[in-house]
């Protein structure tokens, strides 16, 4: 009897999970505004970040959604003689894992690539990240991303969903 109830409960849970609406789905737009912290060198001060993502296409039946977008990181560097500013425009793509997400939480992993301009380098870059979002109210929430992102290991701030 217990096994039958366990199986029925698992089926109900799986059905509920697949049919539940996720925070980020196909057609959604998210705008992130935040700060870069955890700099990889002590000479960098926290920078600022802005990015936008579009839910481009779903993967499987409720398995997740792929987003495509663009971003801009701006950082500040204090040198011995001068202070410098660098900018990193980029394109980004992320996979939002639907089976872990709910109406309030979004877990994703992605890559971004772009060009660093300004001191200390002018060069192409490619970074990877893992992130999460939490809705605080309708269309507004907070986010955080970790990885080797720009000149920092952590970015976070607020996001707006449209």
Q: Report the number of distinct structural domains present in the chain.
A: 1
pLDDT at 15 over 50: no
CATH number reported for the structural domain that contains residue 23 in this entry: 2.40.160
Mean pLDDT of the chain: 82
> What sign does the dihedral 106-108-97-58 (CA atoms) show?
positive
What integer pLDDT is reported at residue 61 of this predicted model? 80
How many whole angstroms separate alpha carbon 38 and alpha carbon 21?
34
Question: Which one, of 114, 143, 144, lies nearest residue 127 by Cα?
Answer: 114
By CB neighbour count within 10 A (0-12 exposed, 13-18 middle, 19+ buried), where does 132 fall? middle
Least confident of 12-26, 75-89, 106-120: 12-26
β partners of residue 48: 35, 74
Indicate the range of 15-19, 53-57, 93-97 predicted with least confidence: 15-19
150 against 34, higher pLDDT: 34
In whole angstroms, give the CA distance from residue 136 to residue 74. Answer: 26
34 within 8 A of 147, measured Cβ to Cβ: no
28-64 pLDDT, tens digit per residue, is: 999 999 998 866 555 567 789 999 999 999 888 878 9
Q: Which domain holds residue 16?
A: 2-161
Determine the average pLDDT of the residues in 117-132: 84
Q: Is the pTM of this model over 0.85?
A: no
H-only helix segments in the chain: 2-19
């Amino acid at each position: 009897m217990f096994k039958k109830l366990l199986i029925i409960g698992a089926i109900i849970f799986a059905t509920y999970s697949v049919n539940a609406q996720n925070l980020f789905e196909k057609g959604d737009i998210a705008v992130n505004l935040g700060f870069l912290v955890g700099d990889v060198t002590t000479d960098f001060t926290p920078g600022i970040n802005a990015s936008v993502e579009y839910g481009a296409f779903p993967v499987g039946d409720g398995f997740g959604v792929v987003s495509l977008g663009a971003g801009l990181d701006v950082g500040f560097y204090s040198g011995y003689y001068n202070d410098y500013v660098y900018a990193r425009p980029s394109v980004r793509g992320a996979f939002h894992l639907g089976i872990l997400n709910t109406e309030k939480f979004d877990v994703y992993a992605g890559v971004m690539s772009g060009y660093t301009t300004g001191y200390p380098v002018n060069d192409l870059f490619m970074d990877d990240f893992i992130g999460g979002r939490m809705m605080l109210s309708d269309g507004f929430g907070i986010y955080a991303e970790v990885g080797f992102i720009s000149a920092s290991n952590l970015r976070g701030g607020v996001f707006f969903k449209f």
